[in-house]
Chain A
């Protein structure tokens, strides 16, 4: 193959893409859809349930203050600290619950695996930016709130190419 033919073929291959739809996801306007509500763990079978490993969700009525999530995090990121909570629960005599510092968290999900009482889940909320370091520390009360995430865009593959739609 001659040099000229090769260059024309290369240009032609690029020009063909002018007719295809764009693949780029326009992020703040569109958001990708993920599987399920988030990453969960079933301690009875020992297997996790697929989902995005994002911000945690803490169920106050399940948490016993056993500190297993904090122990699991010690060797990874030291992001979890056990703090006093004002409200009283029958199963949580010490009234301590995890507080998570997202400036340190690496989102490995080992704390979710460690929880034997189905108290800690991970949700598909990943927009955690803050103006201050203190804003990244989520107290048990903040972790209790289920996030609202509008995620509807998916990768659609057609004969003419792939798009986000």
Chain B
């Protein structure tokens, strides 16, 4: 970084090094700014500047009761809205002391796995277009429609489902959902397997992404990255397996780990996760109780007893997503804190980009599985 001169908001101009602002309107950065310093074509330093889409979700939550918090808390990631809501719902259930019916737990697992696939497909489409691979933009954007159709049948909305609620889910599955879901998921799995030939085994992609932005195993742990970034660096850490919530302990979850830690590995891990999600959905459909309640009836203004706090975390499409809820016995939470994976993964970006070419910046940046709106909350 350039030295800031005392007393003035001015920076010393270097003869060689140029400062480049990528964003916040640039399509290659999302709703954020990357202050990149380049020497010729090589990046000397990079300073991510998030905060352009800060909405004050945490403060808003202090003025609404536990039910009315649901629609606005899923706004940070509208494609992954079930997983964003999941830790909040689990936390509130513990504060209110609610036991969730067995069928509701399975419905939640199916909804959250479908949402994970929807999110990753959207992410993959953007990753494809960042690399100039327009087929990889069109295919995931189209195939995502299969799962969005399923979520629409299940919850009544294409995005922002507002489906999870403390005590279960809002509505029961529609009749004949199991067959439709199985048919869609089987076809979806067949489709995403075709991506390997066109994208992941494509020598042009491998040449672009192999050995760029390498994050070593030690650095991945030291910087506190989560999710696909951590698993691409060789750390086998998945909350669905390490700290199973709901019914994940009854399902056979397999985690995908790659040792390279480069952009290629980080882009391949989400794709492998989608194949694993298809397996989990099939298992959950098989083990789910065929009938029964999906929701516990709540009192009009549910409130906890005394001063309690609870921290719950789940594995979202991007990594471990935590929610800390403090209750002081009122219908509204006293404090709510979202610990989001996007912000944790963004921390690794300045270390990854040092010494890379400017042309590799979009692929390294988007391989971090970063969602700007979620990081700003």
A152 to B199, CA, bound (A): 35
Instruction: Please state if A108 and B146 are interface contacts (CB–CB under 8 Å).
Output: no
Instruction: Please state if A6 and B201 are interface contacts (CB–CB under 8 Å).
Output: yes
Instruction: Please state if B153 and A35 are interface contacts (CB–CB under 8 Å).
Output: yes
Chain B residues with CB under 8 Å of A157's CB are 183-184, 187
A75 to B67, CA, bound (A): 10
Instruction: Please state if A107 and B68 are interface contacts (CB–CB under 8 Å).
Output: no
With CB as the reference atom, state the residue of chain B lying closest to A35: B174
- Say how far B34's CB is from chain A's closest CB, in angstroms: 30
A3 to B210, CA, bound (A): 14
Instruction: Please state if A110 and B135 are interface contacts (CB–CB under 8 Å).
Output: no
A49 to B184, CA, bound (A): 22
Task: Indicate whether B72 reaches chain A with its CB closer than 8 angstroms.
Answer: yes
Interface size range of chain B in the complex: 35 or more
Instruction: Please state if A122 and B156 are interface contacts (CB–CB under 8 Å).
Output: yes
A93 to B202, CA, bound (A): 71
- Say how far A38's CB is from chain B's closest CB, in angstroms: 8
A35 to B63, CA, bound (A): 35
Interface stretch, picked from A50-58, A94-102, A128-136, A140-148, is A50-58
With CB as the reference atom, state the residue of chain A lying closest to B75: A106
With CB as the reference atom, state the residue of chain A lying closest to B133: A10
Instruction: Please state if A110 and B162 are interface contacts (CB–CB under 8 Å).
Output: yes
Q: A39-B171, A75-B65 are in contact. Are A50 and B70 (CB under 8 A)?
A: no
Task: Indicate whether B194 reaches chain A with its CB closer than 8 angstroms.
Answer: yes
Task: Indicate whether B5 reaches chain A with its CB closer than 8 angstroms.
Answer: no
A56 to B203, CA, bound (A): 52
Chain B residues with CB under 8 Å of A10's CB are 197-199, 201-202, 204
A38 to B156, CA, bound (A): 8
Q: What 10 new A-B contacts, CB under 8 Å, besides A6-B206, A38-B156, A110-B67?
A: A7-B204, A10-B197, A34-B153, A39-B156, A46-B298, A47-B171, A50-B154, A51-B156, A110-B68, A110-B162
Closest 7 CB pairs of A and B: A48-B171, A75-B68, A46-B297, A53-B156, A6-B203, A50-B174, A13-B197
A residues bordering B, Cβ < 8 Å? 1, 3, 6-7, 9-10, 12-14, 23-24, 32, 34-36, 38-39, 45-53, 72, 74-77, 106-110, 113, 122, 155, 157, 162
